[in-house]
Amino acid sequence: MASNLTKNIQGDKLSISFSGELTLYTIAALQKKIDSISFNEVNFVVLDLHKVLYLDTAAAILIVKLEEDYNIKSKKTTIICLNKKILSTLELVKMQRIITNLETKIDDTKDSSLENNFFHSFLLFMEFFGKLFFTQLYYLKSFAHIRFKEIAFELNESAIKALGIVALTSFLIGLVVAYQSAYQLKLYGANIFIVDILGISILRELAPLITAIVIAGRSGSAFTAQIGAMKITQELDAMKTMGFDPFVFLVMPRIIALMIAMPLLIFVADILGIFGGMIVSEIDLDISYELFLERFREVVDIKHFLIGIIKGPFFAFLIASIGIYRGLIVKNDTQSIGLNTTKSVVESIFAVIVCDALFSIALTNLGI
């Protein structure tokens, strides 16, 4: 059905009535008719949509823009409509225009105050977490929504391919901690206590923290670079156009995969860190492997191991969320990818250290 537009002026009140189907293909003709209307003696404008049968987003943008333009010109404007679908489309367009205008204003005022920039960044981050939360609810509705193939692929990228660097780093940390501790312990003849030091420090603190820092530099930065490149090449826009939600296909699989991978990587880091300490104990302190393991079983409680493992998903969520968020706010230039990749690594490491500190405070107060 074709669209039409009629006007009716009563005193200082102008009523513009739309009818038919308002779509991308009809708004050009409607715009010409609207431009021909004189508003010199008009103070009130009514946009009547009672007879509109269908309205797409392009036409909704036209209606919302008319309302904004007339209000700017001191014309009190009212939209009249009883169709809930049309009203919801108009509300969606209004909300998106508010967000777009806010982003544009911030981009155009690069010299604005630090408080405004921080407030804008905070709003964008909260918007990201809101979308993330609703996507998680979507995932929980049914197992059919979970992208197992994508999660398996990200597990391979984030866990399997990271095993080597995590294992080597943890092994060297175990060597260094044992070697530095051995010198002090030999002075007091307390060689056997190297087991206590290594067991508690590596299982509880060092293995989770070192693993998180390595993954932040490896996987967190990769998430930012990958999604940032997809945004620049408009792959994200293409996904949205085809009806694929980037949060379902790109964001959630990466977060879930990293939350699964992190405890496994911490477990490997525990083993290699302790093994590195065992080698130094054997060479420098004359503590055999059998004696080391026997003492380890006696003095190192299972809670220290579990605490380290439990930290994994929390660290992984912070690293993945920050990395993906930084990728989504990349602007249309390659310099922005480098800047946001750097920021994602720094912010992820900072967030992990803060989270670890909160864990330490809470567990200490609980006596665990």
**For residue 114, what pLDDT is reported?**
44
Residue 314 pLDDT more than 90? yes
Contacts of 315 (CB under 8 A, 6+ apart): 208, 211, 212, 215, 262, 352, 355, 356
Indicate the residue type of 176. Answer: V
Q: Which tops the pLDDT comparison, 14 or 257?
A: 257
**For residue 265, what pLDDT is reported?**
94
Tokens of 238: 């293409």
**For residue 118, what pLDDT is reported?**
61
pTM value is 0.66
**For residue 1, what pLDDT is reported?**
56
Distance CA 185, CA 343 (A): 41
Structure confidence by residue, pLDDT tens digits, 191-226: 888 888 888 899 998 999 999 999 999 888 999 998
**How sure is the predictor about 112, in pLDDT bands with cuts at 50, 70 and 90?**
very low
Domain regions of the chain by residue span: 4-105, 143-365
Instruction: Write the CATH number of the domain with boundaries 4-105.
Output: 3.30.750.24
**For residue 35, what pLDDT is reported?**
81
Residue 164 pLDDT more than 60? yes
**For residue 107, what pLDDT is reported?**
53
Query: What value does the mean pLDDT of the chain take?
Result: 84
**For residue 2, what pLDDT is reported?**
63
Percent of the chain with pLDDT over 90: 23
Q: Which tops the pLDDT comparison, 253 or 43?
A: 253
Structure confidence by residue, pLDDT tens digits, 17-75: 888 888 888 888 888 888 887 777 778 888 888 888 888 888 888 888 888 888 777 67
| Mean of pLDDT values over 255-261 | 91
Exposure string over 99-126, b if 16+ CB within 10 A, otherwise e:
eeeeeeebeeeeeeeeeeeeebeeebee
Residue 110 pLDDT more than 60? no
Q: Which tops the pLDDT comparison, 2 or 132?
A: 132
Residue 333 pLDDT more than 80? no
Percent of the chain with pLDDT over 70: 92
**For residue 87, what pLDDT is reported?**
85
